C-alpha cells in the first residue's frame, strides 16, 4: 500500500510537467464544474503559455480541459482530449539553425493528460516555401481512428 501511495505521489508530481518547451507558464484557468462540494479541485480549463526553444520571438498559448475531483488532484484522472492552440509573434521571429525541418517536424511541447499513455503534443513545422512556422497540437489518444488536433501559423517576416 505504501509503495502504491509513493507511485501515485510521484505520478502526481510529473503529471503536468511539459517537456521540450523552454518556458511554460500557466496564464490562468476557469472552473467549469465544482466537484465534491468544493472540497477538491474543480473541473477546469487551463491556459498555458510556452515558447519554442528553436524559434525566437514566438509565444504559443494552449488551453486544455483538466479533470477535477480527488483523482484530478492526485494526478490519476484522465483529462479529456480537448484543447485549443494559438501562436503569435511577440518580437522578430528568428528560426535557429538547429530547428528541425522536414515533414515530421519537432516536438516543442508535451503535457500528460492521463496517468498512462495519453499526452497532448505540439509539433513545429517550418514552411520554407511560404516563410511560416506551423504548430500542430494533437492528442496521442486515437478517437475513431483520428486524434483531436489544432493548428496555428506564425509568419516569418524578413
Q: Does residue 89 carry a pLDDT above 90?
A: yes
Domain that holds residue 143: 2-155
Number of domains in the chain: 1
Q: How confident is the model at residue 3 (pLDDT cuts 50, 70, 90)?
A: very low
Distance between CA 71 and CA 23 in Å, rounded? 27
Average pLDDT, the chain: 77
User: Looking at beta carbons, which pairs linking 118-122 to residues 24 or more positions away fall under 8 Å?
Assistant: 118/78, 118/79, 118/81, 120/62, 120/64, 120/81, 120/83, 122/50, 122/60, 122/62, 122/85
| Model confidence pTM above 0.85 | no
Report pLDDT digits (tens) over 37-88: 666 667 788 899 999 999 999 999 999 887 776 665 566 566 667 789 999 9
Q: Please give the pLDDT value at position 31.
A: 83
Q: Does residue 17 carry a pLDDT above 50?
A: no
Q: Please give the pLDDT value at position 51.
A: 95
Amino acid at each position: 500500500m505504501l509503495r502504491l501511495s509513493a507511485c501515485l505521489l510521484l505520478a502526481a508530481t510529473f503529471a503536468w510537467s511539459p517537456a521540450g518547451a523552454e518556458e511554460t507558464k500557466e496564464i490562468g484557468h476557469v472552473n467549469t464544474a465544482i466537484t465534491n462540494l468544493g472540497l477538491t479541485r474543480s473541473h477546469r480549463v487551463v491556459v498555458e503559455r510556452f515558447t519554442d526553444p528553436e524559434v525566437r520571438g514566438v509565444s504559443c498559448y494552449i488551453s486544455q480541459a483538466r479533470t477535477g475531483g480527488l483523482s484530478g488532484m492526485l494526478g490519476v484522472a484522465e483529462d479529456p482530449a480537448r484543447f485549443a492552440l494559438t501562436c503569435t509573434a511577440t518580437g522578430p521571429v528568428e528560426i535557429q539553425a538547429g530547428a528541425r525541418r522536414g515533414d515530421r517536424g519537432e516536438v516543442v511541447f508535451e503535457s500528460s493528460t492521463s496517468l498512462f499513455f495519453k499526452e497532448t503534443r505540439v509539433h513545429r513545422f517550418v514552411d520554407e516555401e511560404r516563410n511560416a512556422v506551423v504548430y500542430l497540437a494533437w492528442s496521442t489518444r486515437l478517437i475513431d481512428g483520428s486524434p483531436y488536433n489544432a493548428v496555428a501559423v506564425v509568419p516569418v517576416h524578413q
